Structure 1
Amino acid sequence: MNRNQFLQPGSAYAPSGSEPRPGRALAVGALSVALAGLVSCWIPFLNVFAFATALVAVGLAVAALVKGGTHPRAPRVLSVVSIALAVLSVVLAWAVNSWVINAWNNADGSPKSLQESAPWAPDANGRPGDYSYDLPETMLEDIYAQPVAAAGETARVGIYAVTLTEVERDATARVQQHDPSAGTPRHQYVLLEFGVHHDGEGATELSADMLPEFIGADGRWYSHLNCSANLAGPGRPLLAPGETGTYQTCFDVPPEAFGADSRVSLRTRSTLETVYWQLP
């Protein structure tokens, strides 16, 4: 039998295979990208990848919906699911990062927690801000574990041989007499004097090169910035190699900051090593 006899003029063979589904490839791609973003959104900070994949997934899903149009077999469900997963991955990534940042800020010793315990703005009387804060327990343990020199003992601080020669616990009157612009302290001015021998090369300015710190027995860190007195005097004389000079610094600390655990430390701007003295 001749099969052509059943064909009418203008007719054609029926297409073989399944009916086409416009936009299916785009929808599948959108779903794959959205799932990848959903997996990565749980990794803190690296989950920024989820934000990029969300944009790609939404773009592919919208393209699939547009291409499918009103076709009855268009992959609308896949496209909508892809968009939903993309949005979910962004929300989860944002939540994970927010939780990690909040936990970090609330941890002891974090930059924000230290900053919150140090209100450094000048007070109503125009005094310098309170450059002090509570030290975390772990940091205090590290400080107490460091070698410590006694008053009168010499220690190496960078290119200098330094000796703590004097500690005046209540030096408010002396500091104000030396520099009336120092103002009234919050607590009381403490004056420390060091003998310094220059063993290095090139003349140096001690008041600019030395970085002193006070660690109180009350567990707080105090900065010399709380005492704004100019103890170096006019001209800021330089210390030449081989010479011995005097370096003075002051702190504004309460009486309870003194005790067996109180320390004063020195380091120079060119060295990272810190040297500690135990206060008498």
Structure 2
Amino acid sequence: MTQSNTPPPGAPQYEPPQYGQTPSEQSQFDQPAAAPYEQPQYGQVPTEQPPASPYEQAPYGQPQSPQFDQYQQQQYAPPPPYAAQRPGSGMAIAAFVIGIVALLLAWIPVINVIAIIGGIVAVVLGIISIRKVGRGEAGGKGFAITGIVLAGLAIIGSILMNVVFGAVLNEVDKTVQRELESASAVVEEQAADAEAALDAEESAAVDGAAAPAGDALPLGQSGQMGDYTVAVNAVNLNANEVMADANLFNSAPEHQYVLLDISVVYNGDEEGDPWFDLLFTYGGSDGRQYDDTGCMATEPNSVVDVPTLTNGGAADYQVCLDVPAAATEGGELFVEETLSFDDNRVYWAVQ
């Protein structure tokens, strides 16, 4: 079945292009222009012309569409310029903060040395900040000036506080020195008095030893000494041979051996050791005293052989002394407690 190529009624008649003519030329010159606002005939479909594309390329030799140029200008418009940044003021703020801290520390003695150092740093930072502000490189001129002022006050306050603190310490030191000197003078005076009293007591003791006292006991008579009843039974003023025979290891005396025969009875409630509790001393005629600690020899009946005594315990033993031969004549013998702090003694007349 063949289809008819007859156009619908009212449609424009299409004519093939003539030889040597392009279809575009045919459409430009042969196609009748539609009348504007023309009412289409009955049965015809109204046709609409599509809007011209702004991107449609103009024919060769014709200028570009102004719509494309306008689009290019809107598409590639340059961005607006950035606003200039405000110069920073960090160094000025640092000078301000350091100045405040330095001013707070300036009133604390010793620690205000840190305030002086911090004040110097704040002044330097403030001066540098002011110079930068003048060149327009930074801001915060007010912070910088305030920091310099605070730092200056901190430095001055620290110096004044150290001067006052040093003056106070100096005055306190002088007061303490005066008190110490006064106390030292009092102590020295008391020591001198005590030494004088001690010398007087020693002189009295020597005098008493050199000349037998009126209450000196005869040999063999007992006397009470602390927790002991003590009796000196005999005195050998020249016991060199006896001591030499007592022990082969006894060395010769420095002066002359004096040997005492002792009897004791312990009356205390605890325990007693005569070799430790009692001290025998010979007061020579030369004004010196010789006790049993100066004799290192072993006696025939040594006190070291005496056991510890309890209440009622008795013992007989010997004690040696090393006394110059010239000092034995006219001397006096006495006994006292080893750890006694009083002048309690019992005397025996040697001759």
TM-score when normalising by structure 2: 0.43
Equivalence for 1:211: 279
The secondary structure found in structure 1 opposite 2:263 is strand
Distance 1:137 1:260 in 2: 22
Q: What letter matches 2:291 in structure 1?
A: S
Give the number of aligned pairs: 202
The structural deviation recorded for 1:258 is 3.4
Q: Report what 1:32 is aligned to.
A: none
Distance 1:76 1:271 in 2: 56
State the percentage of identical aligned residues. Answer: 22
**Which of the residues 321, 341, 349 maps onto 1:251?**
321
Contact 1:168–1:190 (8 Å) recurs in 2: yes
1:191-244 CA distance string (max 9 Å, x none): 111233455668855434433233334333323121112324498244676565
Matched, 1:224 2:224: no
Q: Return the alpha-carbon distance in structure 1 between the equivalents of residues 267 and 310 of structure 2.
A: 9
> Is the CA contact (8 Å cut-off) linking 2:302 and 2:318 kept in structure 1?
no
| Contact 1:158/1:271 (<8 A) preserved | no
CA shift, 1:260, in A, is 4.5
Whether the 8 Å CA contact 1:140–1:219 is kept in 2: the answer is no
Given residue 274 of structure 1, which amino acid in structure 2 is its aligned partner? Answer: R
Q: Which amino acid aligns with 1:138?
A: E
- Within 5 Å, give how 1:51-200 maps onto structure 2: 62=110, 70-71=155-156, 74-88=160-174, 136-141=199-204, 144=208, 148-198=216-266
Please list the CA deviations of residues 69-123 of structure 1 after superposition, one character each: whole Å capped at 9, or x if unmatched.
Answer: 521682444223223335545666776777788888888859xxxxxxxxxxxxx
Gaps of 5+ in 2: 1-102, 116-152
Deviation for aligned residue 1:176: 2.3
Distance 1:25 1:257 in 2: 78
C-alpha distance in 1, partners of 2:193/2:249? 39
Amino acid at match of 1:70: I
Counterpart residue identity of residue 150, structure 1:
P
* SS of residue paired to 1:80: helix
| CA displacement at 1:163 relative to structure 2 | 2.0
Rounded to whole Å, the distance in 2 between the matches of 1:105 and 1:148 is: 34
**Once the two structures are superposed, what CA deviation does each residue of 1:122-170 show, in whole Å capped at 9, x if it has no partner?**
xxxxxxxxxxxxx833234257389532323221233443221111112
Is contact 2:332–2:347 with CA below 8 Å preserved after alignment? no
Compare 151-160 and 183-192 and name the one that shifted more.
151-160
| 1:236 and 2:305 correspond | yes
Q: What is the CA–CA distance in structure 1 between the aligned matches of 2:162 and 2:340, rounded to whole Å?
A: 66
TM-score, normalised relative to structure 1: 0.51
The 1:25/1:90 distance shift into structure 2, 3 A limit, reads same
Highest RCO, 1 vs 2 (Cα 8 Å, sep ≥ 6): 1
C-alpha separation in 1, matches of 2:105 and 2:189? 44
Higher Rg: 2
Q: Once structures 1 and 2 are overlaid, which stretch shifts more, 87-96 or 171-180? A: 87-96
Considering only aligned residues, what root-mean-square deviation do their CA atoms show, in Å?
4.6
Distance 1:101 1:182 in 2: 48
Identify the match of residue 267 of structure 1 among 326, 331, 337. Answer: 337
Looking at structure 2, the residues matched to 109 and 182 of structure 1 have their Cα atoms a distance apart, in angstroms, of: 39
| Residue in 2 that maps onto 1:15 | none
**Distance apart, 1:254 and its partner CA:** 1.6
Tell me the distance in 1 between the aligned counterparts of 2:257 and 2:106: 78
